[in-house]
Chains A and B, each alone.
Chain A
Amino acid sequence: MDLTRRTMIRGMAAQAAMLMAARLVPGVRFSAIAEARPAALQWKKAPCRFCGTGCGVLVGIEGGRAVAVKGDPDSPVNRGLLCVKGYHVVQALYGEDRLQKALVRRDGKFVEVPIQEALDLVASKMKESIEQRGKDSVAVYGSGQWTIPDGYVASKLVKGCIGTNNLEANARLCMASAVTGFLSSFGLDEPMGCYQDIDHGDTFVLWGNNMAEMHPVLFSRILERKQADPRVRIIDLATRSTRTSLAADRSMLFNPQTDLAIANAICQELIAQDRIDQGFMERFVSIHRGKTDIGYGLEDGFSFSDEATPASFEELVEFLADYTPEAVAELSGISAKDIRYLASLYGDPNRNVVSFWCMGVNQHTRGTWMNNLIYNIHLLVGKISRPGNSPFSLTGQPSACGTVREVGTLTHKLPKGVVMNEEHRQKAADIWQVPVENIQPKPTYHTVEMFRALDRGDITFLWVQVTNPMVTMPKLGRYRSGAEKEGRFLVVSDVYPTPTTDVADVVLPSAMWIEREGFYGNSERRTQHFEQMLEPPGEAMSDTWQLIEVARRLGYEKQFPWSEEEHIESIWNEYRRFHAGPKHEMATYEMLRERPGVMWPCPDGKETLWRYNATYDPACEQGPFDFYGKPDHRAWLWLRPYEVPPEVPDDDYPFWLDTGRVLEHWHTGSMTRRVPILHRAMPKAYAELHPDDAARLGVRHGQRVRLTSRRGALELEASVGGRGNPSPGQVFVPFFDEGFLINELTLDAFCPISKQPDYKKCAVRVEKV
């Protein structure tokens, strides 16, 4: 029995006796009744640990443990509502197998060592690799689960001090196409709008986004909006029928990859229906043509850079001529009538349209193009940067925006700008107090190429924090055997054992979420602070402090001078200097401590809700719109064609394989599977088949099937009529289950512009076992 409970029972015992005394002895009064009760529950605010929605949670702390959760009613993100993961997020802290001690592999077996000794070893191995094979032989790989201080010290250490651009993050597998989409269309990353667009919108088009399961709190906000206004329409454009499809007003199922053609057909139809906002196009948009036939990055060392050529409106019309609704109907499987309906929704001057997308658009070998194409639609009708008119790219990780995109923990990025730009390098060198020559002007490896370099032996030291690449890398077999090769030193910081810690040489126990202080940044540019509420277990240490400890061992005490008590605040204040100015001003530490998140840009303590719109955005130099991210102060509309995917089903591998998430589990399930209610609701992965395909194969629900691709095979249970329903000829497998590693089968083709792999399309064979 724990102490808290005993305290409570003692309190009850005392109260019972006091009440009895009050009856027996006239006039007796005990002031101690309240004191005798156990210490009250304390509620503290934090952003949820899981997805990129960034719901505000209030964590109930009692007796040094987290004991309850409620949605923060003051959070403008979720207004008090959470999903089943959020309501149980604190249970993710309490898996029995939490890593509490550092582990070092000796003679093939892990032995526990004091964490300081493990950090000594990490630093000496890092040094050894740099001395023997150069700076570019060491790399750090993190994720959008890094807090902002984690990512910031990682960037300062790797890019500023060591002097290599070998810094990447799992967000490359998740958000990179959104970033390149924003940069190519607007010159600045992250959405122009905010979640309030849901309250102002009446038409919601979901592009390959199973929002009911992946962003349930936002989807509920749409459903509430629909209850309040019968004009609201929800359109689900997808390759698979899901809970979102069933809740939508219209579900349109298209053939994989043909979203490119559908978006162009909508543009074609908008022009044909004369729905273009001519004034907006003339004043605020410029048209560009990029390269075509750009490849898929399947070979080592693949490189590509796009080139923009100005184009006229007439050239756009000519380019779109191929994409008539009829022609695209044949390719996509969506009827011409439906395409015209979509165009009429986007083109209706009395409708406010929000487009939402996430992995379906981003994990795409033409992911950047797909992002551009959705912006094209909104630009043609001028429905952008206004309340309720918003192309809205959602994120999957709690700080994909805050840490990876804003701090810039990618090979080409700096906290402000890119390594290729001399001015940006100089700014970083000034703030970091390092010689500018330290910062290398050339990007090195993006994520897929980084793991290829590890396999080849060009990288010999890799430190992975807060992510699980041995579950998430596509074509996993190659990258796992690469990590296991002789002469590779792999350090993994995590909170639980995972398939990635299994192949590590050193495992560092990390403090998780509210066991340390930090910040996350969500999909709507909202930065959220959380204080340390709990003591980390055993010797667990925050990822920030692990990096600082190693940096000091490498001789960078001057750049990492902070004390444990104040380092998070000091790091925030240093980091804020990068973003000073009306286009990206970050809130002060004090504001962030007080409020349920603050949206940037936040000049003079005032949040910017809609960027590029002079009514709301003080950074605009002209009105009513100023797309100031581009030198011509215009948004760029791109001519992006349909191109075929790298691998399509054929006679040997006749099915499309699509992978993704489920409501109950987040990312690779290393946290959510340790939450009892979530594991019990969704205990294992499965292969979803269309009932017709299942009948043809003679497979019933629950029977085992073998999936085989050119890269690997996997046996698991079939799901027919289960959670989702793929179109005929497709199979869907969730990736949360480390017992069924579906990424053994996926293809490591990526978008040549964003370098983000496509987890949604490859060819497999399905057989009954």
Chain B
Amino acid sequence: MKEGRRYGIIGIAVCLMAAGVWVVGEITGQATSAGVTVAASEAVTTAPLSHQEGQFIPLGQPLRTAPSPRSSRDFDRYYELRAYDGAPPAIPHPVATEQAANDGCSGCHQYGGWAPEFAAEAPRTPHPELSACRQCHVPQRTEELFRSTTWQRRSPPEIHLAALPTSPPPIPHELQMRENCLGCHGASAVPELRTTHPERPGCLQCHVPQAPAGTWSRGGGAP
């Protein structure tokens, strides 16, 4: 059983308070089946669609969003490819060659979009200025391990921590290497992370980073 699914967390509303719902992001699938309204998966469809049969359409500006009915990626898979929230994800698809550090990665990942070759939404890189992709992203050639590990995966950050039901939720993760929000929240994102209002480009105007308590501080200045 996948780690993300291991928790059967359900919300039972007392009385008939349908408006007051606690959403636990990582188990949205089960939560839905348990009859709880899940705001996160209700992505608003705005034309035009990013995917069309048989061709790859890179997403330039302006930004569009659309849930992909055929995307193989979901929230669990998103975290499965990462050792921890913020780790560079492994490459989940075959690669053409080992020889170059950037073997046409940017063809699909510079803007993201539907990649018919893999029948998947190609996520958009949040750091297109870095060109040696294979420095950090590696394919997985085997499922096996050399020796087993006692690594404990940290739970993904909690989401929907808005102070009020109508206020924009704060950003629950670090922004380093993820300065471009559309990498994970744009049209090609997994449904749970997709923005509902891509026409508003100034994300940080309303969504503010939530600094963790007890941040390490260096004290003296850097040289």
**Are A and B direct contacts in the complex by CB distance below 8 Å?**
yes
Chain A contact residues, CB within 8 Å of chain B:
2, 4-5, 8-9, 12, 15-16, 19-20, 23-24, 34, 39-45, 58, 60, 62, 65, 67-71, 73-74, 76, 80-84, 87-88, 91, 94-98, 212, 216-217, 219-220, 223-224, 227, 241, 243, 246-247, 496, 591, 594-596, 598, 607, 663-664, 673-683, 721-725
Contact A594 B176 (CB under 8 A): no
Contact A247 B150 (CB under 8 A): no
Contact B88 A68 (CB under 8 A): no
Of B14-22, B67-75, B117-125, B184-192, the one with at least 4 CB within 8 A of chain A: B14-22
Contact A84 B135 (CB under 8 A): yes
Could you list 17 further interchain pairs (A-B, Cβ under 8 angstroms) beyond the known A23-B20, A68-B154? Answer: A9-B9, A12-B22, A15-B22, A43-B216, A45-B216, A74-B218, A87-B83, A87-B136, A216-B101, A217-B135, A227-B129, A246-B101, A496-B147, A663-B134, A676-B151, A679-B146, A683-B146
Which of A12, A34, A41, A598 has the largest number of chain B CB atoms within 10 A?
A41
Contact A677 B90 (CB under 8 A): yes
Contact B88 A681 (CB under 8 A): no
Contact A723 B98 (CB under 8 A): yes
Question: B94-122: which residues lie under 8 A (CB-CB) from chain A?
Answer: 97-102
Given A40-B212, A223-B132, A227-B129, check contact A676 B149 (CB 8 Å): yes
Give complex CA distance A88, B82 in Å. Answer: 10
- With both beta carbons as reference points, the residue of chain A lying nearest to B100 in the complex is identified as A246
Pick the contact of A683: B14, B131, B136, B142 (CB < 8 A): B142
- With both beta carbons as reference points, the residue of chain B lying nearest to A680 in the complex is identified as B140
Interface of A is mostly: mixed
Contact A219 B132 (CB under 8 A): yes
Give complex CA distance A695, B98 in Å. Answer: 20
Interface of B is mostly: loop
Q: Does B29 contact A (CB under 8 A)?
A: no
Sorting the interface of chain B by its residue count into under 10, 10 to 19, 20 to 34 or 35 or more gives 35 or more
Pick the contact of B87: A45, A68, A81, A596 (CB < 8 A): A68
Contact B132 A91 (CB under 8 A): no
Contact A243 B9 (CB under 8 A): no
- With both beta carbons as reference points, the residue of chain B lying nearest to A18 in the complex is identified as B22
A12 to chain B: which residues have CB within 8 Å?
9, 22, 24, 158
**Closest approach, in angstroms, between the C-beta of A686 and any C-beta of chain B?**
11
| Interchain Cβ contacts under 8 Å between A and B, 26 examples | A9-B9, A12-B9, A12-B22, A12-B158, A41-B212, A42-B215, A60-B154, A68-B154, A70-B174, A76-B222, A84-B136, A88-B83, A91-B151, A94-B149, A95-B148, A212-B132, A216-B101, A243-B101, A246-B101, A247-B100, A595-B223, A607-B223, A673-B147, A674-B146, A680-B143, A683-B146
Given A15-B22, A243-B100, A663-B135, check contact A673 B146 (CB 8 Å): yes
A82 to chain B: which residues have CB within 8 Å?
136
Q: Does B141 contact A (CB under 8 A)?
A: yes
Pick the contact of B101: A40, A80, A247 (CB < 8 A): A247
Give complex CA distance A496, B146 in Å. Answer: 12
Q: Does B201 contact A (CB under 8 A)?
A: no
Give complex CA distance A297, B150 in Å. Answer: 45
Contact B138 A94 (CB under 8 A): no
Give complex CA distance A15, B23 in Å. Answer: 11
Given A40-B214, A67-B152, check contact A220 B176 (CB 8 Å): no
Given A80-B177, A83-B136, A723-B98, check contact A97 B147 (CB 8 Å): yes
Which of A70, A243, A674 has the largest number of chain B CB atoms within 10 A?
A243
Give complex CA distance A223, B98 in Å. Answer: 19
Q: Does B139 contact A (CB under 8 A)?
A: yes
Pick the contact of A220: B7, B86, B135 (CB < 8 A): B135
B141 to chain A: which residues have CB within 8 Å?
680-683
Pick the contact of B7: A9, A73, A88, A663 (CB < 8 A): A9
Pick the contact of B84: A24, A68, A594, A607 (CB < 8 A): A68
Given A40-B214, A71-B176, A84-B88, check contact A65 B152 (CB 8 Å): yes
- With both beta carbons as reference points, the residue of chain B lying nearest to A34 in the complex is identified as B213
Contact B218 A68 (CB under 8 A): no
Give complex CA distance A680, B148 in Å. Answer: 12
- With both beta carbons as reference points, the residue of chain A lying nearest to B103 in the complex is identified as A246
Pick the contact of B149: A96, A246, A722 (CB < 8 A): A96
**Closest approach, in angstroms, between the C-beta of A418 and any C-beta of chain B?**
32
Give complex CA distance A82, B131 in Å. Answer: 13
B85 to chain A: which residues have CB within 8 Å?
68
Which of B90, B134, B220 has the largest number of chain A CB atoms within 10 A?
B134
Pick the contact of A212: B97, B101, B129 (CB < 8 A): B101
Per CB-CB distance, the 3 closest pairs between chain A and chain B, nearest first, are A681-B138, A16-B22, A594-B220
Give complex CA distance A725, B100 in Å. Answer: 11
Given A68-B87, A220-B132, A676-B151, check contact A681 B140 (CB 8 Å): yes
**Closest approach, in angstroms, between the C-beta of B10 and any C-beta of chain A?**
11
Contact A23 B22 (CB under 8 A): no
